[in-house]
Amino acid sequence: MKAMSLGSAVARVSYPGCGMIAGKSADGSSAVLTYFIMGRSALSKNRVFVEDGGGVRIEPYIASAMRNEALLVYSPVLAFENKLLIGNGNHMETMYEALTSGKSFEETVAAQGFLPDAPHFTPRLTAAAAMNGEDFRLTMRVVKAMDTVGASTGRHVFSYENIPAGTGYYLHSYEYDANPLPSFTGEPVQVSLNGSIFDIVADIWENLNAENKVALWVRTIDLTSHKGMSRIINKNR
């Protein structure tokens, strides 16, 4: 599979909903993990990313203007043991609680359905990046409606080992901008990851649709020392 350039991949859909990209840096020394959110409505644009310990949470930019928080405000990035978990909804908190009680990642994901936002039925996206020493493994999961009325559920799992240097995998909510919004189809898009964390941040942010982009988080984690560096861009700040 030929990798797309990172900028081209994020620019090809004007409203991908939210997106996550995970892979290895160009020199192979670091894991690269990213998450971004988009918005079409005033409510979905009224959000910012805030670092929270080893993770990230979404907060309203103007608290008094926020409604429907169950779908819009959540913690998209959580750290658990040697894993970094990324997801597009409040299932992340449920997943974290299940993991701390001894359940496996697979068990926690199996209990989740797509988001209850008919008629879109936004797919529930989850990624788990596990780091054991210099070994880096990635699992991405999609739970989505397989029909237009939400009666049928599809569960798709994509696992990656021995990820080549400079390679990432991009998963996003929607295939294209429409109403209702069609769910992502196929495998995560293979993309090229080049340069430093600052280059990756710029490549994503500058190529996301200017009207719809809301916030971006990027982290690199050295696979030897496991020390990380994070960057956040909020359109509202």
Domains annotated for the chain, with CATH where assigned, are 4-234 (3.60.20.20)
Type of residue at 216: L
Match 């805030």 to its residue by tokens: 50
Cα-Cα-Cα-Cα torsion 51, 93, 85, 20, nearest 10 degrees, comes to -80
What's this model's pTM, rounded to 2 decimal places? 0.95
Q: What is the mean pLDDT of residues 39-59?
A: 94
- Work out the burial of residue 76: count CB atoms within 10 Å of its CB; fewer than 13 is exposed, 13-18 middle, 19 or more buried: buried
pLDDT of 72-122, one tens digit each?
A: 999 999 998 888 999 999 888 888 888 888 887 777 777 789 999 999 999
Residue in the structure block whose two tokens are 């941040």: 201
**DSSP character at residue 210:** T
Query: By C-alpha distance, which of 171, 179, 168, 233 is closest to 31?
Result: 168
